[in-house]
Amino acid sequence: MKLVCSQSDLNTNLSLVSRAVPSRPTHPVLGNVLLIADERSQKVSLRAFDLSLGIQSSFPAQITEGGTIALPAKLLGDIVSRLPEGEITLASELDGDDSEEGSSLSTLTSASGRYEFRSMGADEFPSLPEVKDGEALILPIELLVEGLRSTLFAASTEETKQILTGVHLIQRQAESLEFAATDGHRLAVVETFKASDEDGEDADTPTDPVENFEVTIPARALRELERLLATQTSSETITLNFDESQVVFELSDRRLTSRKLDGAYPAYDQLIPQQFDKQMTIERKQLIGGLERVAVLADRENNVVKFSLDSDNQQLSLSVDTADIGSARELLPVRISGESIDIAFNVKYLMDGLKALPTSEIQMQLNSAMQPIIFTPLGGQKMTYLVMPVQLRE
C-alpha cells in the first residue's frame, strides 16, 4: 500500500475517528485505526470501533497502491499532529523479519522527516455494524444539532442507570422530532421542527413519519455525532438508519454507528406538571450572571443557592450562606404572579439548563418549594427544562 495525502486531511480525519478507539482495548486490534486505501476512487477511509461506537471518515488522496491495514491509533495521531502542513507519504509492506503473522512495517514520510512503526494486518479488525432491513429517517442537520445541544447535558453519567445515559428520540408527527434526557434530578425535553420552504412544504425531506420511531441512543455516541456535525453546514441533511439493535448516521463521507440502549425509557411526560399557581419571568442572561456571582461563595459539596420570590416588590433575591466561607445576595427585577415563595436549587443543575435555553427571556413555573419546577423559553424553541428543588434547611 502507498498513498500521498495532506497533513491537514490526515490529521483532521484521524482526530475524528480516534475518539472511537477504546482507552483500554479488550483486543489489541481495537487499539488501532483501520486505514482503507481505494485506488479506484482515490479515497482513503479511516475507521475506529470499540464494539459499541464506530466512526468512519473518508478523504481524497493520491493512491498508487491500494490496500487495508490497521495502524496504531495513538502513535499515529501523536506523529501526524506534530508534523508541519504539507504532503505526507504513507507506505506499508509485510515485515518479513517479524515472526508475528500479518504484521507489517509502515513508513510515514514528510518534508521534515521519516517515521517507521509496526502495524497489524486488517483481518482481525471487526466490521462496522450495518442496518440492512431497518428503516431510515432523513434529518436536517440543523434540527439534529438543535435537539442535541438542548438535551445532551441532562443525560446521566452513572452506568448503574444505563437507560438514562442516553438521549431518547421520538417522532410524534411528520415535521418534528422530540429529544429528551434525564438523570433523575433534571429533565430536558425539546421538540424540533423541520424548516419549510416558501410554499410551506418541507424542503428536500420526506414528510411521512416512520411508524413507531422511538429510540434511546448513548449520549457518548451523540456527543461524537455533535462534533462531526459541527464541521458541516446546517443546510445539509443526514440519514439515520436503525433496526432493533443499531443506529447508523450517514453523512457524505462520514459514518457513525452505535448500539441502542435496551430497556424502557421513563414516561417523562407524566413528570411534567400541567398546572401552576406561581410563575416568574426574567431576562435569562441577567439570571445567569447573578447566579454566577453568588455561586462563588456556595458550598462546593452542596452547591445550593436560595431563590426568594418577592411578589409584592416584583423582585428575585438570590442568596448563598455558607458556614466558614461567607454569604452573598443579589436582587434582580422580575415579573411575578402568585404568592411569594422561597425555594433552593443545586446551582450546577440550574445553570446547565439556563445556558441551554435559547431565548433572551425565560419563564419559571412552580407550585411549591418541593415539587418539580419548570423553565421554558418565551418564544422560539419549544423546550421544557424540569429541575427538582433542594430542601431548604432551617
**How do the residues of the chain divide into helix, strand and coil, expressed in percent and rounded to 5?**
20, 40, 35
**Predicted pLDDT at 205:** 45
Q: Which of 64-68, 104-108, 132-136, 239-243 has the lowest mean pLDDT?
A: 132-136
Q: How close are the terminal C-alpha atoms of the chain, in Å?
A: 73
Tell me the sheet residues that pair with 238.
Answer: 139
- CA angle (36 as vertex; 35, 38 as ends), nearest 5: 150
**Which tops the pLDDT comparison, 135 or 20?**
20
Answer positive or negative: Cα dihedral of 221, 129, 163, 364: positive
* Res 95 pLDDT > 80: no
Q: What is the pLDDT of residues 254-310, one digit of tens each?
A: 999 999 999 999 999 999 999 999 999 999 999 999 999 999 998 777 789 999 999
The yes-or-no verdict on residue 101 having pLDDT over 70 is: no
pLDDT in the model for residue 62: 98
DSSP for 132-196, written as a single string: SSSEEEEEEHHHHHHHHHTTGGGS---GGGGGGGEEEEE--STTEEEEEEE-SSEEEEEEEE--B
Is pLDDT of 339 > 80? yes
Please determine, for residue 250, whether its predicted confidence score (pLDDT) is greater than 70.
yes
Give strand pairing partners of 9. Answer: none
Planar angle of CA 137, 144, 375, nearest 5 degrees: 130
pLDDT at 42: 97
Q: Kindly list the structural domains of the chain, giving each domain's residue range(s) and its CATH number in brackets, ordered by start.
A: 2-119 (3.10.150.10), 135-268 (3.10.150.10), 272-387 (3.10.150.10)
Instruction: Look over the chain and give the mean of its residue pLDDT values, rounded to a whole number.
Output: 90
Query: CA-CA distance, 181 to 87, in Å (whole number)?
Result: 44
* Confidence label for 379 from pLDDT (cuts 50, 70 and 90): confident
With bands split at pLDDT 50, 70 and 90, how would you rate the model's confidence at 7? very high
pTM confidence score: 0.89
Contact (CB, 8 A) for 330 and 373? no
Angstrom distance (rounded) from CA 190 to CA 150: 7
* pLDDT at residue 16 is higher than 50: yes
> How many percent of the chain have pLDDT more than 90?
76
Digit-coded pLDDT (tens) for 120-177: 989 989 999 988 877 888 999 999 999 999 999 999 999 889 999 999 999 887 778 9
Specify the pLDDT at position 394.
60
